[in-house]
Amino acid sequence: MKSELDALMAKRGLDALIIWIDEIYSPPLDYLTNGAHITQGLLVKKQGAAPILYVSPMETEEAAKSGLEVNAYHNAELYEFYKTLPISKAHAARWVQILAACGIESGTVGVYGTGDFAYIIGRISELREAQPNINFMGEPDMSRGLFKEAYETKDADELMRMKSVAARTDQALEATWNYIAAHHVEDGRVVDDAGSPLTIGDVKRFVRRTLLDYDLEDTGMIFAQGRDAGFPHSRGEADTELKPGQSIVFDLFPQEIGGGYFHDVTRTWSLGYATPEVEEAYRQVMEAYDLSVEMVRAGMPAKDVQIAVMDYFEANGHATLRSHPGTQEGYVHSLGHGLGLNIHEAPGMSHVSPDTLRTGNVISIEPGLYYPDKGFGVRVEDTCYIGEDGQAAPLTGFRKDLVLPLKG
């Protein structure tokens, strides 16, 4: 939680943290600035103090929406640096000056933000050279970064926003279901009243527009049919025509417009009817889903739930990543993951995850079975919250019907 930030800094021996502000969406920046749209500058947070922003004079108004102290960095001084130093070193000198203005001239400073790797690797070298008394550091343990740890449990405000995203995603799913259900089958193809075939491109366009009606945006949905549905990350080809009786994996992970909280939900639909093979796989995936949601308890190792699902699938004759590492058939991925301002956060729910489930987690639970060579895949996913009672409660409310009936 946000309230733990100082403790998380202390744990890492950080006297301060900085967020290097670049023009791409940055979850840690959003986390600390209420989503103010700032595209260049520096955020400085000292241990025990509120963050301070240094931004371009053009962005002071936007930055003020953060509610934080905002300073314009002065181009005049920057241009002085430019006169005597190459551009990269001038920027490093400017940041060192800003840190000094914040009273940071030595100690350990964590560097955060989101952007171009080559750029930050180069800049860190220059910062270290420009201010050798500060130890500029990244995250030593990739599974347990400072923000990752903070994100891992949501506070009441965050939960409220995520519940709203969930409810709006439900409505987009309902609209999509109804849109497809208004089609019928003609010569083995799914067509509209005018006889035009419905394609994956049509459905995705409909979904994207519908999400906008709810102030959400698509971030790369999967809508994959048949063999494509057998590959968990195949997104589906726009010109593929929908066919009755094929499994469709529809994985939707929209985000608040302009960056913000995610929701993550998957439904498997089969238009008109389902084959016995897909029905049986679906029944097993639903059993795995149900046993997972029932089993979750705060305080439990996250991997235990995945191990129970692997036990179940293996007992039913499916390969898993445990029985057949690297398998592309059977149950080929983790059970789920935390989510929030990032689509993938802690806790991880692989069978080797070191994480513990906790009250305040928002996690996806998404068992699936994949048989590309048999031409199908099945996945069912809800986003769930682990509440004060320590149990998982789905935030996703949309129904879990396999067969989506068509007109006529």
Q: Which is nearer to a second copy, 365 or 386 (CB)?
A: 365
Which pair of structure tokens corresponds to residue 57? 């004079």
Q: How far is the CB of 120 from a second copy (least distance, A)?
A: 5
Q: Which is nearer to a second copy, 172 or 406 (CB)?
A: 172
Q: Which is nearer to a second copy, 77 or 174 (CB)?
A: 77
Q: Which is nearer to a second copy, 224 or 305 (CB)?
A: 224
Q: How far is the CB of 98 from a second copy (least distance, A)?
A: 15
Tell me the one-letter amino acid at 1: M
When computed from its CA atoms, the radius of gyration of the chain, rounded to whole angstroms, is 24
Closest CA to 227 of 203, 257, 206, 249: 249
At 399, which helix (H) or strand (E)? none
d(CA 42, CA 95): 8
Q: Which is nearer to a second copy, 140 or 408 (CB)?
A: 140
Q: How far is the CB of 117 from a second copy (least distance, A)?
A: 5
Q: How far is the CB of 7 from a second copy (least distance, A)?
A: 17
Q: How far is the CB of 321 from a second copy (least distance, A)?
A: 6
Q: How far is the CB of 356 from a second copy (least distance, A)?
A: 15
Tell me the one-letter amino acid at 304: D
Q: Which is nearer to a second copy, 72 or 293 (CB)?
A: 72
Q: Which is nearer to a second copy, 57 or 299 (CB)?
A: 57
Q: How far is the CB of 215 from a second copy (least distance, A)?
A: 8
d(CA 255, CA 217): 5
Residue 34 vs residues 23, 73, 160, 200: alpha-carbon distances, Å: 16, 21, 14, 36
CB atoms inside a 10 Å sphere around CB 329: 16
Q: How far is the CB of 107 from a second copy (least distance, A)?
A: 17
Q: Which is nearer to a second copy, 34 or 125 (CB)?
A: 125
d(CA 109, CA 138): 9
Long-range CB contacts (< 8 A, 24+ apart) of 386-391? 386/296, 386/298, 386/357, 386/358, 386/359, 386/360, 386/361, 386/362, 387/359, 388/359, 390/297, 390/298, 390/299, 390/359, 391/296, 391/297, 391/298
At 338, which helix (H) or strand (E)? strand 337-338
